[in-house]
Amino acid sequence: MSHPHSAELLAALAQYDTPTICNALEAIDPALQYYGFNTDPLHCAYPHLGAIVGYARTGTIRSVQPSRWGDAQQKERRLQWYQYVDEGGPKPSIIVLQDLDGVRAGFGSFWGEVNSHVHRGLGAKGVVTNGSVRDLPVNASDFQMLAGSVMPSHGHVHVVDMNIPVTVAGMAVQPNDLIHADQHGAVVIPDAYAERIADAVATIAVRENRLIEAAKRSGFTWRDVAAAAQGNQDIH
């Protein structure tokens, strides 16, 4: 990412849901039909919060086995993580945290009441992780969570690394990538395309609305689909 986008642009992007962002990106760059978004399911803890937009703070965790570091080193590691969340790039941020425990990812949760409040206070809008979350009734009220699972324990959870490329639920993310996420999942918005999203959304909406309005009329048939869908490569 070359530079932070304006607060106005981020707010505008947050007005769209994530499928709309994906559609727009595909219209801008057809190659983005194949990558840049999660391809494994993620559980959204708070669908009512709507979309979040922010810059990725990336890291990796494990929880099945204890950390190889001693207590003092592990405490220092955790503080380094919080410093990175606070100072590691533009804000607002979205935490993108890869659980490295393979088929046991999510064994222990990094995310609960305390960490949701701490990270929200450090400027994060939410988290996207293939790991787990917990404490759902008492987490920070405006902190979104997309996770691979919901679990009761923290296990031996600890930060392994930070500020590195990660892959979460099939979505490859670089530090400071612009992320859009909601109840459907998450997607990376390439820096060069962020300001083109609105125009792409508007163009797609004209085509889609023509077909939707036709479908609402009495006597609608497949021939009406053919007429209304002229120029559309596909229907979603």
Q: Which amino acids are annotated as binding site for substrate, given as ranges?
A: 134
CA dihedral 11, 17, 22, 25 (to 10 degrees): -30
Annotated binding site: 134-135
Contact of 42 with 185, CB cutoff 8 Å: yes
Phi first, then psi: give them for residue 220, nearest 5 degrees: -60, 130
Give every CB contact of residue 137 below 8 A, 6+ residues apart in sequence: none
Contact of 94 with 128, CB cutoff 8 Å: yes
Annotated binding site for Mg(2+): 135
Q: How far apart are CA 210 and CA 47, in angstroms?
A: 29
Contact of 145 with 113, CB cutoff 8 Å: no
Contact of 23 with 236, CB cutoff 8 Å: yes
3-state secondary structure of 132: strand
Q: Sign of the CA dihedral 61, 175, 137, 41?
A: negative
And the tokens for 103? 């088929």
